[in-house]
Amino acid sequence: MKDIQKFITYFLAFWFSVSVIPGMLSNTNSFVDVSIAAIGFAFLTLFVPFVLTFFKLPEKNPSAKIMVGCLMTLAYVFSLKPGITGLLYIPPKTSIGDTVEYLKNYAIELNEFGIIILIVVISVLLVTILDLKKK
């Protein structure tokens, strides 16, 4: 039961990190594609402790979890691009933040690789924070 709860938490963390980016969910083909991508991330995140023990890194160390999780998630999200598997539509450029004229200085413009990095950082940090809060 505990693993099912973790799986659902990881699924929702990835879904949230994808839905934060403007234009990701509206241009992705279907609900099923995003769900498959989130299920893959959840399985990948459940696999992180085994990778940590393989490389003889401490499982309780959050920085090791973040490092290994970010590397694995970066490779995974990069493989979801339209040219490779095509599950997620990653826009070539997006603007995050306010687009009102007097707040334009605070808007962030990201290219495709920046969007991938943002998805990775948000999802891995969310998973790590939620795992630490449970303990």
- Condensed to tens digits (0 to 9), the pLDDT of residues 26-73 reads 777 678 888 899 999 999 999 999 999 999 988 888 899 999 999 999
CB atoms inside a 10 Å sphere around CB 7:
15
Assessment of whether the complete model's pTM goes beyond 0.75: yes
Residue 106 token pair? 């605070």
Instruction: Find the length of the chain.
Output: 135
115/84 Cα distance (integer angstroms): 17
- Condensed to tens digits (0 to 9), the pLDDT of residues 6-18 reads 999 999 999 999 8
- Condensed to tens digits (0 to 9), the pLDDT of residues 102-134 reads 666 777 778 888 889 999 999 999 999 988 876
67/120 Cα distance (integer angstroms): 11
Q: Where are the domains of the chain?
A: 2-134
Question: HSE of 46 in the Cβ direction (CA atoms, 13 Å)?
Answer: 16
Are 99 and 107 within 8 A, CB to CB? yes
> In the chain, which residue ranges form alpha helices assigned H by DSSP?
2-20, 24-27, 31-46, 48-54, 62-79, 112-134
Nearest to 119 by CA among 11, 6, 7, 15: 15
